[in-house]
């Protein structure tokens, strides 16, 4: 780690009272103190931080957050403290446990025609929220576009997630992933899963690229990795990241089979297998027979309409005629029917868990 050259300045009225607090309670090292006869300034370092406590400082005391591996064994287990100089100290876990919120089930229909303006997010990308309620924080589904192609101002980063899918809806995008070899082009109709904390970077995009991104849970941390360079000179397609393998699914290599719903067929992306059953992803199109009413026993069932049209019927609901860009969520136990599908209908279905029971009514 490079030498700490920046400081946070904090005020004090009586420096002598702060010395034992910062050194003994917060376990920081005192680096300098002056003047010798009547100290008014002391500099402490620790926890990747350098703090100057200064009697001549006029600003408010502020807050310091200290992240440690064992919060219960630090500062006698206190999580919030107040220094003699008034500074608020928050003690938190350096590696907090990953918690998935409990799903708040709801029937959701999100139409492209009814949408609010796109929001500009990370790296200048435009985001459209496909599940506004986020089902209680359990999932985020975003329709993302980059209007002007070219180099993407992205950095090597990773996400602390339970599951993450990138499905290329239109155009193409160049990506590179940790331990997955050289950069590659993700074409329309293909997808990747980004296993938890795999380092990656978006490099270049075509004009009007559009992707569907699914993240579990809705609020997850993105961390920039300033040390790793990609590609990292290693190819290990079998590597597991917290139990999940990287997947680059290619449409032209997939097989179509009967889908769980009558009247449709699908191509499996192998994501259920490679996530250990965490999630399943299918691309769905018109098949044999007439659609029937059914219920599912999964937790989250999200669908995005990529092409054609269908009518979504739900018990106690008015039918919705859906077209490309529309999305919906069907809660477990609710009877629905995907009726009147056009011959060119194409759907993206994401299910958590990957395997669940579907019951025909």
Among 92-101, 246-255, 291-300, where is mean pLDDT lowest? 92-101
> Would you say residue 101 lies in a domain?
no
pTM here?
0.87
Are residues 170 and 265 both part of a single domain? Answer: no
Select from 29, 58, 93 the last residue of a domain. 93
Select from 207, 230, 249 the last residue of a domain. 249
241 SS3 class: strand
The enclosing domain of 74 has a CATH number of 3.10.180.10
77 SS3 class: helix
How far is 306 from 249, CA to CA, in rounded Å?
Answer: 17
Write the pLDDT tens digit of every residue in 26-74: 999 999 999 999 999 999 999 999 999 999 999 999 999 999 999 999 9
How far is 123 from 121, CA to CA, in rounded Å?
Answer: 7
Chain-centroid distance of CA 338 in Å reads 29
* Structure confidence at residue 123 as a pLDDT band (50, 70, 90): low
Kindly report the average pLDDT of the chain as a whole number: 95
| The pairing of beta strand 119-120 with beta strand 336-339 | unpaired
Select from 249, 282, 303 the last residue of a domain. 249
Are residues 16 and 77 both part of a single domain? Answer: yes
Write the pLDDT tens digit of every residue in 204-259: 999 999 999 999 999 999 999 999 999 999 999 999 999 999 999 999 999 999 99
Separation of first and last alpha carbons in the chain: 62
Domain span at residue 165 reads: 108-249
Are residues 194 and 175 both part of a single domain? Answer: yes
Please tell me the total count of domains within the chain: 3
Percent share of the chain, pLDDT over 90: 90
The enclosing domain of 310 has a CATH number of 2.60.120.10
Are residues 113 and 241 both part of a single domain? Answer: yes
> Would you say residue 2 lies in a domain?
no
Contacting residues for 38 by C-beta, under 8 A, at least 6 apart: none
137 SS3 class: helix
């Amino acid at each position: 780690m490079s030498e700490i050259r920046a400081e946070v300045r904090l005020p004090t009225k009586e420096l002598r009272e702060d010395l034992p607090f910062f050194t003994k309670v917060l376990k920081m090292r005192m680096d300098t103190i002056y003047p010798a006869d009547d100290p008014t300034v002391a500099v402490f370092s620790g926890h990747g931080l350098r703090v100057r406590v200064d009697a001549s400082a006029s600003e408010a005391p502020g807050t310091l957050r200290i992240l440690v591996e064992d919060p219960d064994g630090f500062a006698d287990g206190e999580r919030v403290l107040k220094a003699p100089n008034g500074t608020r100290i928050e003690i938190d876990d350096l590696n907090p446990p990953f918690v998935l919120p409990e799903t708040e089930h709801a029937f959701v229909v999100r139409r492209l025609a009814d949408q609010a303006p796109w929001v500009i997010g990370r790296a200048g990308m435009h985001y459209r929220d496909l599940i506004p309620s986020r089902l209680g924080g359990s999932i985020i589904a975003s329709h993302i576009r980059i209007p002007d192609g070219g180099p993407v101002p992205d950095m090597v980063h990773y996400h602390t997630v339970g599951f993450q899918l990138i499905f290329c809806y239109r155009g193409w995008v160049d990506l590179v992933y940790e331990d997955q070899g050289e950069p590659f082009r993700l074409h329309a109709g293909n997808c990747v899963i980004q296993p938890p904390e795999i380092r990656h970077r978006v490099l270049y995009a075509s004009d009007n690229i559009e992707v569907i991104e699914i993240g579990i849970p809705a609020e997850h941390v993105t961390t920039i990795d300033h040390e790793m360079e990609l590609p990292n000179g290693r190819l290990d397609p079998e590597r597991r990241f917290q139990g999940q393998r990287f997947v680059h699914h290619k449409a032209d290599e997939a097989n179509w089979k009967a889908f769980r719903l009558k009247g449709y067929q699908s191509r499996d992306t192998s994501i259920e297998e490679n996530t250990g059953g965490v999630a399943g992803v299918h691309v769905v199109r018109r098949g044999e027979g007439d659609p029937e009413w059914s219920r599912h026993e999964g937790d989250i069932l999200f669908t995005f309409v990529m092409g054609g049209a269908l009518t979504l019927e739900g018990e106690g609901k008015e039918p919705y005629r859906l077209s490309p860009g529309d999305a919906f969520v069907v809660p477990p136990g609710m009877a629905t029917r995907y009726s009147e599908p056009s011959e060119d209908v194409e759907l993206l279905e994401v299910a958590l868990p990957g395997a669940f029971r579907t019951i025909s009514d």
